[in-house]
Amino acid sequence: MIIFPAIDIIGGQCVRLVQGDYATAAKVAENPLETAKKFEAAGAQWIHMVDLDGAKAGYPVNTEIYRQIAEQTHLKVEVGGGIRTLDTIKAYLELGIARVILGSAALKNPQLVADAIREFGSEKIVVGIDAKNEMVATEGWLETSNVYYLDLAAEMIRIGVRTIIFTDISKDGTLSGVSTAQLKKLAEATAGQCNIVASGGVHTIDDIVICRDLGLYGTIAGKSLYQGTLDLHEAIQIADSMQIRPMQIADYDALFALWTACGNGLNNLDDSREGIARYLERNPSTSFVAVENGVIAGAILCGHDGRRGYIQHMSVSPEHRRRGIGTKLLARALEALKAEHINKAALVAFKQNEIGNAFWERMGFSLREDLNYRNLALAEMIRTDPEY
């Protein structure tokens, strides 16, 4: 589970509200960029940011702050507040924002959500569902609708949304604990269809454990971090329920199902049970699986010939994506190769695709267009950095 430290902005200042009431805005930190850097130093990979001025105005107001954080940290930044048009979404993404949050638009303009997903992909678009007494609120929580939060979630999933942030407004900024009952109903209603992020009420590490055990994708923490009732580094450690372990031939059925679900190019020889058994016998310590609650969520099949490493397959199940699993698997595989004195690694038998290419290039692999390996690969990316 991902922990998202939160920074809300009014007038360029880091603030927190109580139950969405702008009159309760209290400054909690001096400088947004320096605060973000402290979160990064504690181990955060993502940061959740809300333009509260923008949420009220209906258009972005504090854009420069988000640009600075995206450019001057390694954090993946998600931003919400006042995002009402495709042009605004595009402008944020061009600034280096990892993904944008659509809140009021989800209820008032679902066509915008559908168009945004079609234009930019579900990886870049998150829907925020904020509720008072389980009914959806909009316009910076200043208006309450007659739409039930689970009904809106179902509609968003239908049009292609794959990540939802749910906030129980009565809990937000209160340090009174997460809304367990509502989160449980939402997690059960959306299981296998959408990632759920909890927001509002986080107080202590117990709330992190509750959200982790509900199988949520992430939890947003704000006031608890600023008031010191929650330690970010500890929360990140507790939230990580994913186990990375060496691959075994006993994993084969689950692996084959994973590869098929991910659309991997497979062949009857190397990717058969017998082929994988031979591969693991030759390279017993360089392939890994990511397991959560007994389910294989991702896998990397990696070996070497004594000179160069080869990554044959690297997949993360659709239900577990956007959680950094691919990064963790790759790090373990490269570490294992380095332990065997292999300082170069190549991808083989990978289909070229925009998301995959972006991931591998971000990890330091360079792209070559001149390889077609067994008619399966449209690209090879070679990493030559001996220090990985």
Among residues 247, 254, 264, the alpha carbon closest in space to that of 333 is found at: 247
Give the Cα separation of 115 and 134 in Å (integer).
27
* CB atoms inside a 10 Å sphere around CB 297: 22
Q: Is 8 a catalytic residue?
A: yes
172 is catalytic: no
Distance of CA 243 to the CA centre of its chain: 17
CA–CA dist 90, 308 (Å, integer): 40
From 78, 16, 79, 46, select the one nearest 226 (Cα to Cα). Answer: 16
Distance CA 244, CA 107 (A): 39
Q: Are strands 295-304 and 243-246 parallel, antiparallel or unpaired?
A: unpaired
Is the Cβ–Cβ distance between 16 and 167 less than 8 Å? no
**Token digits of residue 96:** 């280096």
Residue at token pair 């809106």: 152
Contact 313/349 with Cβ under 8 angstroms?
Answer: yes
Q: 192-202: buried (b, 16+ CB within 10 Å) or exposed (e) per residue?
A: ebbbbbbbbbb
Question: Residue 168 corresponds to which tokens in the numbers above?
Answer: 């129980």
Q: Pick the catalytic residue: 53, 130, 168, 271? A: 130
Q: Which residue has the tokens 């080869």?
A: 310
Q: Which residues are catalytic?
A: 8, 130
